[in-house]
A = this chain, B = another copy of it.
Amino acid sequence: MKSLCAVDGVSCAGIKEGKYGLALIQASGMAAAVFTKNLFAASPVLLMKERMAGGRLDGIIVNSGNANVYTGEQGMADARRMAEIGASALGTTPDMIGVASTGVIGRFMKMEIVERQAAVVAGTVRSDAAAEDEAAAAIMTTDLFPKHACAKRDGFTVAGITKGSGMIAPNMGTMLGFLYTDAEVTVPALQEMLTRAVDRSFNRVVVDGDTSTNDSVFVTATGRRGPADPEELYGALEEVCISLAKQIARDGEGATKLIEVRVTGAEYEEDAAAVARTIVGSSLVKTAVYGEDPNWGRIIGAAGRAGVEFDPRMATVTIGEGDALVTLARRGEILADDKVNPEALAAAKDLMKGDTVIFGFDLGAGEASATAWGCDLTEKYVEINGKYTT
């Protein structure tokens, strides 16, 4: 029997009926999680912030279609009831169940749908690729495709599924991530690894900056394959998180291109991350990428307002990578321009025609670096978000 992307001890199932979906994931082990910092946190987020102190989970229940936000005491009771339904389906106690929701804000849960779907799904929990696809599809809202990733190492595996079209869906914006490994690891180490990996992946995705009320990432380590080298385990976890984050960025509403911004030469990683996020989040940069216009003036304009101190005379802006790298401007000198260097400008324009556009920005100040991901801004984004009616 195949396990979920070959993670030993993990099985799952899911169902999607119109906008209402439900996934069950069975995985017993050490668990850690990170949650949204939005003040209007969803009921399941409030519940889980308390319960994750236990450091262990046997499984997770997730619904799509209703975010269970701004629902008061009734919402908290519904989140607790979801844990009971999950526990009953997976044969454990409610305190061992992780709960997550995504969907519309400000509506009470239709618990009869959760109960019915859980009853259907409970009988189909299994560890094969089709089950993983079902689970990934069940948690989608406006996502165009299910998202999963896997990193195999000698002796253990890390895998996961995620949903989110850029944390921005119309009134349903949420990024959820569910990660698994069969390596053995302590809870504090797992929490530290997850926090760091999320910071370098999901937190570097900028579609429109609208952090959701429900964003949650869980990781469970079943331990079935025994201890792993911490650095190797972290590397695999980060690889999975970055793969999932890039899939979210590419699935941004109306997006036609993935944008990757690599900032180097910073004094501190957080400085590099702030500059990378500001560039990739700039509406002017996003529209320029959509228009395939290598408009480096917009990149320096964004970098200059990122709130990071650096000497603008030392900065370098590039497009592309490896052999196909074009320097647009370096230390005050313009290197790709229709007058100064039209061949370089033409090469830069060519590098914008693909479905991935990579910008480099070097601050010339130190050794730290960070990468951020986003997508272009298109008429379709406006159409999707403007015409949505509650």
| Chain B residue at minimal CB-CB distance from A284 | B210
**A284–B304 Cα gap in the complex (Å)?**
25
Identical chains bound together, number: 2
Q: Assess whether B386 is in contact with A296, with CB atoms less than 8 Å apart.
A: no
Q: Assess whether B296 is in contact with A106, with CB atoms less than 8 Å apart.
A: yes
> Chain A's interface: helix, strand, loop or mixed, by majority?
loop
Question: In chain A between 365 and 390, which residues have their CB closer than 8 angstroms to a CB of chain B?
Answer: 376-379, 381-383, 385-390
Q: Assess whether B104 is in contact with A40, with CB atoms less than 8 Å apart.
A: no
| Chain B residue at minimal CB-CB distance from A294 | B390
Q: Assess whether A382 is in contact with B377, with CB atoms less than 8 Å apart.
A: yes
Given A37-B305, A303-B39: A210 touches B297 (CB 8 Å cut-off):
no
Q: Cβ of A312: which chain B residues have Cβ within 8 Å of it?
A: 39-40
Give the distance to chain B from A276, nearest Cβ to Cβ, in Å.
Answer: 15
Q: Assess whether A301 is in contact with B389, with CB atoms less than 8 Å apart.
A: no
Q: Cβ of A301: which chain B residues have Cβ within 8 Å of it?
A: 38, 40, 105, 173, 210-213
Q: Assess whether B337 is in contact with A106, with CB atoms less than 8 Å apart.
A: yes
| Chain B residue at minimal CB-CB distance from A207 | B283
Given A40-B300, A70-B300: A173 touches B382 (CB 8 Å cut-off):
no
Q: Assess whether B377 is in contact with A379, with CB atoms less than 8 Å apart.
A: no
Given A209-B282, A283-B208, A283-B209: A386 touches B304 (CB 8 Å cut-off):
no
Give the distance to chain B from A213, nearest Cβ to Cβ, in Å.
Answer: 6
A304: contacting residue among B213, B300, B390, CB under 8 A: B213
Which among A129-137, A236-244, A285-293 touches the partner chain?
A285-293
Q: Does A265 contact B (CB under 8 A)?
A: no
**A301–B67 Cα gap in the complex (Å)?**
12
Binding site for B on A (CB under 8 A): 37-41, 69-70, 72, 104-107, 168, 170-171, 173, 208-213, 282-284, 287-288, 290-291, 293-298, 300-305, 309-310, 312, 329, 332-334, 337-338, 345, 376-379, 381-383, 385-390
Given contacts A107-B337, A208-B282, A293-B386, 15 further A-B contacts (CB under 8 A): A40-B303, A40-B304, A104-B297, A106-B329, A173-B284, A208-B283, A212-B301, A213-B304, A283-B283, A283-B381, A287-B382, A291-B388, A293-B390, A376-B386, A379-B379
A-B contact pairs, 11 of them (CB 8 A): A39-B303, A70-B300, A72-B333, A208-B284, A209-B283, A213-B304, A283-B381, A283-B385, A288-B386, A290-B386, A382-B382
